[in-house]
Homo-oligomer: A and B are copies of this chain.
Amino acid sequence: MFYVIGLGLSDEKDITVKGLEAVKRCERIYLESYTSILMCDKEKLEAFYGKPVITATREMVELEADEILKDSDKIDVAFLVVGDPLGATTHTDLLLRARSLNIPSQVIHNASILTALGSTGLQMYSFGQTLSLVFYTETWRPDSWFDKLEENLKIGVHTLILLDIKVREQSEENMARGRLIYEPPRYMNPATGFSQILLTESLRHGTNPEDREEGVEYKESLLKPSETLAISLSRIGTSTQSLISGTLEELSKLSEEDFGEPLHSLVIVGKKLHPLEFEYAGKFAINGENGDWWKVGKDVYGVERETF
C-alpha cells in the first residue's frame, strides 16, 4: 500500500493515531520537504516513529516518482506531507502515477492551514479562493494574485494569502555554473507580505502619487489600506501561535520582529463579516480596544459589537 499521510501543522504528535499506525507498518518513509515545513526536526520524527525518514526533495518527487513508489504493491510505503496531503495538486501527480502502475494507495487526512485559520475566529466557510504571494525582486513582481483578491473582495468573502517558502534554492550564479550549492531557506515575513500587497495595490490603482503613470486611467481600489481589515497568522497550531489583527495600514507599520519566527500567512477580511467573527478576531487587535479594528469594522464593514 502506498500511504500519503498528512502530518498536521506543528510537531510529531499532530499525526493522527491512524496515520501513526500506518507509518509503523511502512518499510520506507519519505518526508516531502519543499511545499511546507513542520515546526520540528526530521530527527524528532525518526525518534517518534523508531524508523529512518528519507527527505524527499522536489527533484526526487518529480524525477524519481517510480523510485518512491517502488514495490509498494507488495510492501507498505509512506509519503508524509505537512498539513493535509491533498491541499494543492502537487501530490495528485504521485497518486495518478500510482494508479497507472496499479499500486493501491490510501490518503490519511489531517489539519491544514485552511482549517486551522479558524483560530482567527473567521469561519472557513466564508473564505474565497486562496492566494500565494512569492518574493518580489527588482525585476520580477508577478501580480496575478491581485486579480483573485479583487474577485474575492467584490463578493465580500475573506481571503487567505499563503506566503512564499524558498528551500533548496540556488543563486543565479550557482545555477549558471551548475554548482549544486543551495541558499539558506527563506520564509516570507508578514512585514514583507503587507508591503508587497500595498505596492501592487498602489501600482494597479495609482494610490501613491509617485506610483502613477501619466495617461493611465486608474480605477478606485477595493483594497484601501486604511479601510481594509487584515490578520497575520504566525506559527498556527504551535504553542507560540500568534495572531495580529488591524487595518492593512496599521499592520504594514509593524516590523519583522513583531511577527517573529516562521511560518506565517495572512488573511484579508471580506465585507461579509459576522459580529461573532468581528468580536473573536478583535481580541488580537493592534492597540486593543483603541485599535482601528473596531472603528473600521463599525464604520466601513457595518458590524455592530455584541457582548459575551
Contacts and interface: CB of A to CB of B under 8 A. Distances in A.
Please indicate which of the listed interface residues A15, A84, A126 has the most CB atoms of chain B within 10 Å of its own CB: A84
B9 A279 contact: no
A151 to B, nearest CB: 4
A299 to B, nearest CB: 23
Interface in A84-122: 84-89, 92-93, 95-97, 99-100, 107, 109-112, 114-116, 118-119, 121
Interface string A124-165: 111111111000000000000000000100010100001000
B13 A14 contact: no
B308 A97 contact: yes
Interface residues of A, number: 60
Interface stretch (A16-24, A194-202, A211-219, A244-252): A16-24
Contact of A8 (B16, B83, B119, B280): B16
B280 A96 contact: yes
A128 B159 CA distance: 10
Contact of A109 (B96, B97, B115, B121): B115
A111 B17 CA distance: 13
Nearest to A132: B125
Contact of A92 (B88, B129, B280): B280
> Taking the full assembly, how many copies of this chain does it contain?
2
Nearest to A10: B18
A237 interface: yes
A83 to B, nearest CB: 8
A170 interface: no
Contacts of A283: 99
Contact of A111 (B84, B88, B128, B280): B84
A222 to B, nearest CB: 14
A51 interface: no
Nearest to A9: B109
A225 interface: no
A280 B107 CA distance: 14
Nearest to A128: B128
A274 interface: yes
Interface string A175-196: 0000000000000000000000
26 contacts: A6-B111, A8-B109, A14-B16, A16-B17, A16-B111, A17-B17, A83-B115, A84-B116, A86-B116, A86-B123, A87-B115, A87-B125, A88-B123, A89-B277, A92-B123, A96-B280, A107-B118, A109-B115, A110-B111, A111-B111, A112-B115, A114-B115, A115-B115, A124-B130, A125-B162, A128-B128
Interface of A: 6, 8-9, 11-18, 20-21, 83-89, 92-93, 95-97, 99-100, 107, 109-112, 114-116, 118-119, 121, 123-132, 151, 155, 157, 162, 237, 274, 276-277, 279-280, 283, 308
